[in-house]
Amino acid sequence: MATLLYSASLNDCIARWREDGLMVFGPSTAGGVSGFREVEDAGSLDLDLVLTRSTLKELFFPRTEPMLGYRIGKQQIETEEFIPPEGRRIIFGVRPCDAAGMQVDDALFDWDYHDAYWFRRRDSSVIFSIACTHSDAFCMCTSLGLAPDSTKGSDVLLRPLAAGNGWKVEALTERGENALSSISSLLKEGGDAPAPLTDVPVKFDLEACRRWLADPENFESRFWKEISERCIGCGSCTYLCPTCHCFDIQDEGDTYQGVRRKNWDSCSFSLFTMHTSGHNPRATQSARWRQRIMHKFNYFSLKFNVNSCTGCGRCTRECPVDMGVTETLQAISTLQR
């Protein structure tokens, strides 16, 4: 026997959470583009998508957010600190790869500085992940040591039932248990069979890649230029990545009033490393692509003992010139004999 949530009860669950003052978010499509948005009912959820176009990270690390404001008057200077809203949130229908991305960024945002913007939202959110019964040609979680039913970063894991009429429910954290207790009357006990999970083939040997990347001999390899020759230097792979976390701090305003904002930034851009002198230590696009791969699979894993890629495949799926992490790591696997 296991705890079950039938799809037919989902609408009531959402209503219950909302009555309790929680906001409910989930995958939904607007303007033809899917992402995580606040929903009022189950009908607005798009739970059949393999993955949303934009990632879960946007709910924790928005594209742009104000940090502080200032106003200089004749007599005084006023400042205002913007703190992210504290509202409690249920995020329903996350894919395990996106949820795993949360843990990657937890490590980063709690490293030399505890990022209040990130953790305030983390602490007030409950992540309900749904194990994958479908995948596409770009999915590669299994190459990163994850799986269609990974539990990393999730508070509750839902396993689809074979009949397609609901999920087997498993709380993974205390936050998850609490969120389930408020809908306990809507949960059932039963022995319904779970649906088979999708089979995601392993596409490269991650350990072999990591060894190659860690070898200083390969830093100047011709490989980097060849593999990234067609890169046009846009930021779509980084902005659609569930773990890419770089940001820039920008002041908008004038002498008398303005706002300091935290904006997404991307290592794909030449300006990212441009010095005031005009010198750019990463002068070419291939140096920028190398940095992205090195950061994800060498530096970050050495520092935090976790890969900053969860295998969602969005980088390749959305690349205007069909590049991405998969091809690069597959090629490195081959270089490694």
Partner 1 sequence: MSIQEHYRSRAKELLSSGTVKMVIGYGTGSTPDRRRPVFITSPDETDRLVLDKACRTNLSGYLLREGLLSDQKQVAVFFNLDGVRSLNILAAESQLETAQVLVLGFRIEGEEVTALQGERAADFKSLIAAAKEQRKSQPPHELQEKLEAMTPKERFSFWEAEFSRCIKCYACRQACPMCWCRRCVVDNNQPQWVNTSSHTLGNLEWNLLRAFHLAGRCVECGNCSRACPADIPLHLLNRRMSDEVQGSFDHYPGMDEAQEPVLASFRKDDPETFIL
* Distance in Å, CB of 204 to partner 1, minimum: 13
Non-local CB neighbours of 40 within 8 Å, separated by 6+ positions: 14, 18, 24
Q: Which is nearer to partner 1, 31 or 191 (CB)?
A: 31
Among 95, 168, 261, 288, binds partner 1 (CB under 8 A): 261
- Sequence-distant (6+) residues with CB within 8 A of 216 are none
Under 8 Å between Cβ of 279 and 288:
no
Which of 9, 28, 54, 151 is the binder for partner 1 (CB under 8 A)? 54
Does 326 interact with partner 1 (rule: CB under 8 A)? yes
Question: Which two structure tokens, joined as six digits, stand for 154?
Answer: 């999730």
Residue among 188 and 260 whose Cβ is closer to partner 1: 260
88/124 Cα distance (integer angstroms): 5
CB of 247 to partner 1, least distance (A): 11
Is 230 a binding residue for partner 1 by CB under 8 A? The answer is yes
| Nearest to 100, CA basis, from 3, 208, 298, 241 | 241
Element (H, E) at 176: helix 174-181
Q: CA–CA distance from 195 to each of 6, 43, 149, 165, 259 (Å)? A: 14, 22, 12, 10, 50
Q: Tokens 């400042």: give the residue.
A: 79
* Binding of partner 1 by 44 (CB under 8 A): no
For 300, list phi and psi in degrees, rounded to 5.
-65, -40
Only segment of 27-35, 71-79, 110-118, 286-294 that touches partner 1 (CB under 8 A) = 27-35
Find the shortest distance in angstroms from Cβ 42 to partner 1: 24
Output 7 or 263, the one with its CB closest to partner 1: 263
Question: Binding to partner 1 by residue 84, rule CB under 8 A?
Answer: no
**Is 321 among the residues that bind partner 1 (CB under 8 A)?**
yes
Contacting partner 1 within 188-227 (CB under 8 A): none
Q: Are 307 and 301 in contact (CB under 8 A)?
A: yes
In 3D space, the residue among 99, 109, 311 whose CA is nearest the CA of residue 203 turns out to be: 311
The binder of partner 1 chosen from 124, 263, 273, 280 (CB under 8 A): 263
Q: Which of residues 119-148 bind partner 1 (CB under 8 A)?
A: 137-138
Q: Should residue 153 be labelled a site residue for partner 1 when binding is judged by CB under 8 A?
A: no
Residues in contact with 101: Cβ distance below 8 Å, sequence separation at least 6, in sequence order: 55, 56, 57, 153, 242, 243, 310, 312
Interacting residue with partner 1 among 1, 19, 21, 33 (CB under 8 A): 33
Q: Does 239 bind partner 1 (CB under 8 A)?
A: yes
Which residue among 167, 264, 289, 297 contacts partner 1 (CB under 8 A)?
264
Residues that bind partner 1 (CB under 8 A): 30-33, 53-54, 63-64, 137-138, 229-230, 232-236, 238-240, 248, 250, 252, 261, 263-264, 266, 269-271, 316, 318, 320-324, 326-327
